[in-house]
Structure 1
Amino acid sequence: MSQSFKVNVNKSFNFDISETDSSHLNSVKLSNNNYHVLHDDSSYKAEIITEDFYKKSFEVKINNNTYNININNELDVLIKEMGFEIGSSKIVNNIKAPMPGLILEINVEIGQEVKENDTLLILEAMKMENVLSSPRAGIIKSVSVEKGDAVDKNQLLIEFEA
């Protein structure tokens, strides 16, 4: 059974493309992101400018025209119809203590911009140091604890700007 894809171009044009359709394209890779494509006796120069495999979105330049393309397979379409989004993640706006403990170190301050996985603070619990890292990129709105504070489970530690 051939797989089919739903392709959206520039959030305006929708196409249904089967695996068989895509196999009829004659393409040659010229360099890292550049291709030469033959289709229906026409020649096209294609360049992939940006790509996000998790969101299945691409920015492609074909013969000097730029297109934003989203590609979804049947499973992606079904998941979206069920109310979920592929590649989307829950936005975390606050960090709470995962367990009771003692704040050993705070590595951020209000207004500071952090990246995903940056160390926010170190919490000692059960004689172990636990590094709490940023779940997302953002700006610190508030820091509700100080070094040396004892905290309870689920106590607010750090809040991000929305």
Structure 2
Amino acid sequence: MIKATVNGAGPFEIQPAEGKPGHIDCNGKLVSWSAVPLPSGGYSILMDGRSFVADVVKTDPDAKTMTLQIGQSQFEVALQEPIDQLLASMGISEAASRKINDMKAPMPGMVLKVLVSPGQAIRKGDPVLILEAMKMENVFKAAADAVVKEVKVAGGTAVEKGEVLIVLE
């Protein structure tokens, strides 16, 4: 899902329209669209028969946000993956998780793979663990630079919500 605000207006929620290739759902309205990358780094967008050029002004991969310039308007865009939406619905924010040294399971699931080992230095954004939950594979990433103190789970392990998976220093 993409959430966008335009100069304080919005938010607009945009997501793929299920079963409708070439369409998106924008705040509940079905819209036809296509986007083609331009050599300049921007995009040529065709939406409901209208053509736009969107230039990327700024990106922040850690915060999963970008600023687009379309004509005279700037759009602040936030991208949410399914795991982001699930965590938000459970009241768990990324900011809150940054203050905690232990990585805990936000939901019950199966650990598919542990990507780190004790003593390993990790950087913010590094993949740490893959958890399968609700038929989705979720890659958990380090919220900050740290050192892995202890790995409490192994691949193939079932975990419960709140269970400590990895202890960080």
**What TM-score do the two structures reach when normalised by structure 1?**
0.44
Larger Rg: 1
